[in-house]
Amino acid sequence: MAHTIPDPASDRIQLVPVPALSDNYIWMAYSDSHAIVVDPGEAAPVQGLLDRYGLALDAILLTHHHGDHVGGARELQARSGATVYGPAREQLPVCDHRLEQGDAIFLENLDLRLEVLDIPGHTAGHIAYFGRMNQGKPLVFCGDTLFSGGCGRLFEGTPAQMYDSVSKLRALPLDTLVCCAHEYTLANLRWALQVEPGNDALQEWWKAAQGLRAQGLPTLPTTIGAERDFNPFLRTQQESVAKAARIQSGERLDSAVTVFAALRAWKDHFK
């Protein structure tokens, strides 16, 4: 996927999903020749853009400890001197400031304040960063907790934890940009269409997402409002979703959490 980014000297924050590894996105935000990156699984794609556009890397934000999210952090810090932020309760290869819910960071050169949310489930200490950029536009860097049409696998947490975490993200403003860390959209939507085939918003996004990928373009960021319209994991209290989960699981599923758990098990085995 080719990269073209606007003038780095702009005083507006620009947001770029940088492809890495097989299907990761490293999010880069920059303004006035200063940049930050989120979850750099490898250093080379980031360093290439920094060098090409003359950007100084001020900060590296980590959401969780998995190697495809932290693998490039040490090298990037060594080359740039960037400050590294990360979750308080996870083992990381490098971290200057350990964060948990209630903390906030201020990235002075981007005039960007980010609040920390605890969103365990995918990993035990996973965090997200929520803030507002140009003219108050909200965004959230949510790592592997929420994807377009899906959510992260439960490697270290419980369905109840993950349900609470995605509910926390669901409660963000509807126009919040969802900056997740993988291009899983088409695979997620193929499954979501099995859950809720009569969902018009889902059908429309399926067509649009296919068109974007056919052109080599990212499907991200999406928005919280859009995900609430078609992502089954944010729709556990919709009867159409709950009914599909009950039929698939053969169980009563008498709460939103049990519906969520059944959806996650269904997705885990969907081919």
Catalytic residues: 64, 66, 68-69, 122, 144, 182
Q: Is position 122 annotated in a ligand binding site? A: yes
Q: Is position 64 annotated in a ligand binding site? A: yes
- Residue with structure tokens 């050169």? 109
Which two three-digit tokens encode residue 122?
A: 């995918």
Instruction: List CB contacts of 230: < 8 A, sequence separation 6 or more.
Output: 149, 189, 192, 196, 199, 201, 202, 205
Task: Spell out the alpha helix ranges (H) of the chain.
Answer: 44-53, 67-70, 73-80, 159-170, 185-195, 200-214, 224-230, 239-249, 256-268
Q: Is position 97 annotated in a ligand binding site? A: no
Number of neighbouring beta carbons within 10 Å of residue 86 = 27
Q: Is position 3 annotated in a ligand binding site? A: no
- Residue with structure tokens 């209290």? 237
Q: Is position 65 annotated in a ligand binding site? A: no
206-213 CB contacts, 8 Å cutoff, 24+ apart? 209/148, 209/185, 210/186, 213/183, 213/185, 213/186
Q: Is position 66 annotated in a ligand binding site? A: yes
Q: Is position 144 annotated in a ligand binding site? A: yes
- Indicate the annotated binding residues for Zn(2+): 64, 66, 68-69, 122, 144, 182
